[in-house]
Structure 1
Amino acid sequence: MVLTGHCLCKAVTFKADVDAPAVVGYDHCDDCQRQSGSTYSLVVVVPKDKVTTEGPLKKWKGTADSGNAVYRWFCSECGSPIAHDPEAAPVIALKGGCLDSEIKKELKPTVEIWTVGKLPFCQEKLAHPFEHMPN
C-alpha cells in the first residue's frame, strides 16, 4: 500500500510505501491539539524509513513528556502540519488529513492515544483508548 499526500498549497508532498499502517488513530495530546488547531489529530503511524518527502518541509523541535525530542513537520509555505516525528521511536505519525482524499476515506481508526489530554466536551469513545502511548 502506498500512502501519498500533500500540504494545502501542494508544495510539500510525501509518500510512505508500507504493507499497512502500524496504527491509525486519534491523538489527543496537547501538542497535537495545538498543531492541528482542533480537539485531536488523526494520525497514521508508519516506519520512518518508509517515508519520503519533497518540497519546502520545515521541522520544529519540541520536547515530549519523556524528555525526548519530537519534530513537528510542516510546510514552510502554507503551514500545513504533515507529521510528528518522535526522535526516540522508529515510527512517524503522518497527519491523516494530509493524505490524498481517496486514501483518507479508507482509513479505519482503531485507537485513541493520549486520552489523558482528551477535552471534557469530547468524551464520546471514538476507538480503543490508551491514556498515554500504547506499549
Structure 2
Amino acid sequence: MRVDFYQLSRDPAESALALIAGKVAGNGERLLVVSGDLGQRQRICQALWSVGPESFLANGFAGENGEDRQPILISDEPQPANGAKFMAIADGQWREGAEPFARTFFLFDQSTLQHARETWRALREREGVEHYYWKQDGGRWVQAG
C-alpha cells in the first residue's frame, strides 16, 4: 500500500484532484474520491467535468445508477463501488476501506495539518506501507522530506 500526502497551500483540493484524477485515468485506472463535505464533493465533480476547454474527466456520485461504470466515483465513504484501486481523500480526514487500496492520495490543508501529522506517524508504524510527502512549490508539486 502506498500513501501520498499532499499538503495544499496554494490551490484547493478540487484543483489538485483534477491533476491526480487525470493521471490515474490516463493510466487506465479507476479512482474513488472521498469527502465528508457535500459541497466539496459537488465542487470536485464540477472541477473534473471542466478540466480544460477540450477535455473533461467523466465522474459520478456514489449511490446513483451506473456507479460501477464510473472511472471516477465521488463518495462520502471509502467503498469503491466502481472497482477502484486508487483512492483520493479530499477533506483531510483519514479513512480506510475494508480492503486496502493500492494507492491513496491524502490531501490536507492548514486546518487539517495536525491530523495529517498524526496519520503520517501512525502509518509509519505499519508494515507494508510506503508513504511520500508532497507540497506545492509555486505552481508545481515537489516531493519533500
**TM-score for both structures, normalised by structure 2:** 0.24
Q: Which has the higher contact order (CA 8 A, sep 6+)?
A: 2
**TM-score for both structures, normalised by structure 1:** 0.25
Q: Which has the higher strand share?
A: 1
Q: Which has the higher helix share?
A: 2
